[in-house]
Amino acid sequence: MSAAPAQGRARLAALADRLAAAGIAEPRRELRLLQIEAGGARSLADWPDRPHPGLEALANRRAAREPVSRIVGRREFWSRDFLLTADTFDPRPDSETVVEAALAAVPAFGNVLDLGTGSGCLLAALLAERPGAWGLGIDRSPGACRTARRNLKGLRAFVAAGDWGAAVAGRFDLVVSNPPYIPSAEIAALMPEVRDHDPRLALDGGADGLDAYRAILGGLPRLLSPAGAAVLELGIGQADAVAALAEANGLPVRDIRADLAGIPRAMVLGSQL
Ligand SMILES: C[S@@+](CC[C@H](N)C(=O)[O-])C[C@H]1O[C@@H](n2cnc3c(N)ncnc32)[C@H](O)[C@@H]1O
């Protein structure tokens, strides 16, 4: 009997051990995802008895704490696949709370503005749910805008580079934003997957984490239609401070939704008009 399968399995086990030693919580599952990417498996259930050529190089990247989503260049969000590049923030499942809150707040929106669109994931999810609506995504990063345009292909969306809503004209039934909200001093202590791979522009919320909220909320009354609503993603513990900023700009808080972990994550604001 050939010893090859046993040797192949031992090499796979050694790679999984390497990921575990690097601090990866689910080393075997992630190795399977990378085996699929290397072309050596069709699904998570399809587990071959040896590493496919190329798997070791991918596993080395993961052991250096590059996220699987960055290695494979895409991320699923709201049951759609989004291309990722170095300029795009990696969409988080928690941000689906923003989509749910937005659909509940303005079920029949005709247009939607997404400030800080990144990969375009919020805008694409919303437009996919309401094919009659059109959307505008704004991002400061030209590279993120290019990726968002590719991710929004086939949807009624425009993407432009800009500084929040400063250059946007007109009014919108729905405005959504997941702004950078990490206090600058906390970025160095984030997990390497986040600190070293999400763009700094997507993370850094200034000294208290609230700089982007101040800028967005200041311009929001001019951008919301009379019956419109805005939905902002919140960082942990930011609900009271963001609510105070919103009310100072004449925007009443209508609802706050928690994510699956029970953390207040999406704040719904009404129009003052
Ligand atoms: C946390 S990411 C969110 C990306 C995406 N909406 C999502 O939910 O995955 C924040 C985004 O805001 C963008 N951004 C940062 N400062 C900006 C500004 N002044 N104007 C517009 N976009 C900005 C970043 O480039 C980044 O794409």
Contacts 24+ apart (CB under 8 A), 250-253: 250/221, 251/217, 251/220, 251/221, 251/224
- Inside any domain, residue 134: yes
Going from the Cα of 118 to the center of ligand 1, the distance in angstroms, rounded, reads 5
Residue nearest to atom 14 of ligand 1 (CA): 116
Q: Are residues 112 and 192 in the same domain?
A: yes
Check pocket membership of 164 for ligand 1, CB cut-off 6 A.
Answer: yes
Q: Which atom of ligand 1 is nearest to the CA of 91?
A: 9
Q: Are residues 52 and 92 in the same domain?
A: no
| Tokens encoding 217 | 């909320």
Identify the pLDDT of residue 3. 63
Q: Are residues 222 and 103 in the same domain?
A: yes
- Inside any domain, residue 162: yes
Q: Are residues 132 and 163 in the same domain?
A: yes
- Mark which of 46, 64, 82 sits at the end of a domain: 64
Going from the Cα of 250 to the center of ligand 1, the distance in angstroms, rounded, reads 24
What's the rounded Cα separation, in Å, for the pair 90 and 112? Answer: 21
Check pocket membership of 270 for ligand 1, CB cut-off 6 A.
Answer: no
Q: Please report, as a single letter, which amino acid is at residue 228.
A: G
Going from the Cα of 18 to the center of ligand 1, the distance in angstroms, rounded, reads 34
The secondary structure element, H or E, covering residue 261 is none
- Tell me how crowded residue 108 is: count the other CB atoms within 10 A of its CB: 9
- Inside any domain, residue 196: yes
Q: Are residues 33 and 153 in the same domain?
A: no
Q: Which atom of ligand 1 is nearest to the CA of 177?
A: 6
Tokens 């990722």, located at residue: 84
Residue nearest to atom 27 of ligand 1 (CA): 118
Identify the pLDDT of residue 48. 77
Going from the Cα of 106 to the center of ligand 1, the distance in angstroms, rounded, reads 22
Q: Are residues 259 and 172 in the same domain?
A: yes
Going from the Cα of 177 to the center of ligand 1, the distance in angstroms, rounded, reads 8
Q: Are residues 126 and 228 in the same domain?
A: yes
Q: Are residues 89 and 179 in the same domain?
A: yes
- Inside any domain, residue 69: no
CB contact at 8 A, 148 and 171? no
- Mark which of 39, 64, 89 sits at the end of a domain: 64
Angle formed by the axes of helices 96-105 and 121-129, to 10°? Answer: 40
Residue nearest to atom 19 of ligand 1 (CA): 163
Count Cβ atoms within 10 A of the Cβ of residue 74 and give its class: 0-12 exposed, 13-18 middle, 19 or more buried. Answer: middle
- Inside any domain, residue 37: yes
Residues 6+ apart with CB under 8 A from 248: 217
- Mark which of 44, 64, 84 sits at the end of a domain: 64
Q: Are residues 60 and 132 in the same domain?
A: no
Identify the pLDDT of residue 190. 98
Check pocket membership of 205 for ligand 1, CB cut-off 6 A.
Answer: no
What's the rounded Cα separation, in Å, for the pair 126 and 154? Answer: 13
Going from the Cα of 97 to the center of ligand 1, the distance in angstroms, rounded, reads 17
Beta bridge partner(s), residue 112: 135, 174
Structural domain total, the chain:
2
Residue nearest to atom 7 of ligand 1 (CA): 91
Identify the pLDDT of residue 273. 47
Q: Are residues 14 and 87 in the same domain?
A: no
Task: Quickly list DSSP for 139-163.
Answer: ES-HHHHHHHHHHTTTSSEEEEE-S
Check pocket membership of 138 for ligand 1, CB cut-off 6 A.
Answer: yes
Q: What is the pLDDT along the chain (273 residues), one digit of tens a residue?
A: 456 778 899 999 999 999 999 999 999 999 999 999 998 888 888 877 888 999 999 999 999 999 999 999 999 999 999 999 999 999 999 999 999 999 999 999 999 999 999 999 999 999 999 999 999 999 999 999 999 999 999 999 999 999 999 999 999 999 999 999 999 999 999 999 999 999 999 999 999 999 999 999 999 999 999 999 999 999 999 999 999 999 999 999 999 999 999 999 999 999 754
Q: Domain range holding 54?
A: 4-64
Check pocket membership of 95 for ligand 1, CB cut-off 6 A.
Answer: yes
Give the 3-state secondary structure of 20-79. HHCCCCCHHHHHHHHHHHHCCCCCCCCCCCCCCCCHHHHHHHHHCCCCHHHHHCEEEECC
What's the rounded Cα separation, in Å, for the pair 271 and 176? Answer: 13
Check pocket membership of 135 for ligand 1, CB cut-off 6 A.
Answer: no
Q: Are residues 20 and 82 in the same domain?
A: no
Residue nearest to atom 12 of ligand 1 (CA): 116
Identify the pLDDT of residue 267. 98
The CATH number linked to 163 is 3.40.50.150
Identify the pLDDT of residue 5. 78
CA 192 to chain centre: 17
- Inside any domain, residue 9: yes
The secondary structure element, H or E, covering residue 223 is helix 211-223
Q: Are residues 99 and 140 in the same domain?
A: yes
